Structure 1
């Protein structure tokens, strides 16, 4: 038996090289099938873990004092009454909007239907970049659909499986979205991109191509909202707030800033997926 360490490692290295070479040679379809099969294999476990957390939360709430629950119910009833009034106002505004668009022969913006989904799991390796939700292909979710919470952008659907979907968060390096800065009278378009996840830092995104002559108002919160261009995100959704400190670019024509997400991503338990009623151009590119 040889005592040379190089000769002892030659066999395992050859096997590892053959496996790696075979994986590179295999058709892309087989690799996609393997990833999809693994996602479907772990989907029941993810759903079970998520439902177990919900069951624990249910019994925790069920053990609370009756008076406390009654007070929460009254607060909820008052909030519901206010939302009903707001809903009537929005319906009236939508009717007027449709009337004006028909008079001007303006194109109708894309319509969306909402699919509410629970957050199933967040992996520690991608805590600020991806989440998995308990809605998938059978529920009508499609790749590229925007994901929101209220009027705040959370991210977009990156991958869809049978019963689950992977959502790319706004802080992910792969996130891209055109936006407007509130207070900019010229409505010039800027670009919002996610930033790489750094340890011991709060999640954030990047705002680039800010016009050089733009100055954030002192002492005011500057909101960044979606433009609605491209048909991916509806116009006017909140992306976050712009930091008052802007950085100069080497070219000097634009400046960059930091965006704090509008929604606290750490506490996400439920999101809404906006599915277009008609196929959009960005879906045809996939």
Structure 2
């Protein structure tokens, strides 16, 4: 959990492509970094990263009116059908300004981060309390801004990032479908191996140590909004040598899909 804002000192870090990135320090160590892109009066985008979690946020008309989490639909590049509804929380930045944010634990795979860095636009729909509203933002410079925000936290002298130090395994739901056939569909208890390096890469149905399922797959996002994927292809085979393509896109429920296959992972 990030330190209280009052206990943090904010230092300008960089300003790439209209974004302002600040490094938040506590006791001489980096506690978090925040990136903001202001597009209008109390309107803009927000990105925050610390060793425990990452936040995608926005501000628009009455977006912070409620002090509680509210349902917000978010989608990218006009593809509303691939969007999802999230419980977005009020998130206060180091200036004391409140954004509406999707708070994502770094211990889980979040394809939304890859989309935020690679898509052209992001859209939000929510209820202001007096009626529904919708707002869209261009993601100009978001790839560089997010990369520099990650780098800002990892700068020398930063606080130890115990939760993001090396690969880790979580357990959740997973699915693998290839050429119209479902090979794996686990609602819970599926081991998901996370690269845990900010790339979003993961394996399903294996902990890559003591357990390897009959069917398993690997997904590696490339930072452009696309990902490559592999599977073992034969039940019991121990290597993911079957190439499934390099044009996978993230859809709903943590699923990456192309014309041939779908690979899903979610807690």
TM-score, normalization by structure 2: 0.24
| Structure index of larger Rg | 1
Higher helix residue share: 1
RCO greater where, 1 or 2, for CA within 8 Å and sep 6 or more?
A: 1
Higher strand residue share: 2
